[in-house]
Amino acid sequence: MDRCHPIGPMRGGKLNIIVKFHKYATKRAIYQAKANLKGDIHRRYITEDLTRTNYNTVQTLVRHKRDGRIDAFWTRDRNIFAKKHAESLPLKIRVGEDISELLGRNPQPSGTRIAPR
């Protein structure tokens, strides 16, 4: 870890922190292991530090997932990806029109389909 400091006030005895990693490989390893925190009794979680635009896009995707319109979405290296169905290829989301395409409301594709690794 290169550096770490709190951001924002403590709420309910919990503190948000931001961390800068010295090595990218360390960051990737932590992000890949973050799924192990699901169901954590202490409600700890790891998220990326997103731009305001990307944060708002993620909040839109949260609503669509909650409403059952999409299967999954995630961020990786400040990029946003989403899948409408479990078996679909991920779509890289860059703008609001990409969400419309994902939901099948836009006949002109603007996002980038990502082949599975």
Q: Are residues 33 and 75 in the same domain?
A: no
Unique residue bearing structure tokens 């409408």? 84
Q: What is the pLDDT of residues 13-38, one digit of tens each?
A: 888 888 888 898 988 888 888 878 88
Confidence of residue 110 (pLDDT cuts 50, 70, 90): very low
Domain that holds residue 12: 3-37
Mean pLDDT is lowest, of 8-12, 20-24, 45-49, 103-107, for: 103-107
Residue 43 lies in a domain: no
How far is C-alpha 23 from the chain's CA centre? 21
In the prediction, which pLDDT does 14 show?
A: 84
The pTM of this model reads 0.70
On the 0-12 / 13-18 / 19+ scale of CB atoms within 10 A, 57 is: buried
In the prediction, which pLDDT does 109 show?
A: 47
Q: Are residues 56 and 92 in the same domain?
A: yes
Confidence of residue 72 (pLDDT cuts 50, 70, 90): very high
Residue 42 lies in a domain: no
Buried b or exposed e, range 66-89, using 16+ CB within 10 angstroms: eeeebeebebeeeebbbbbeeeee
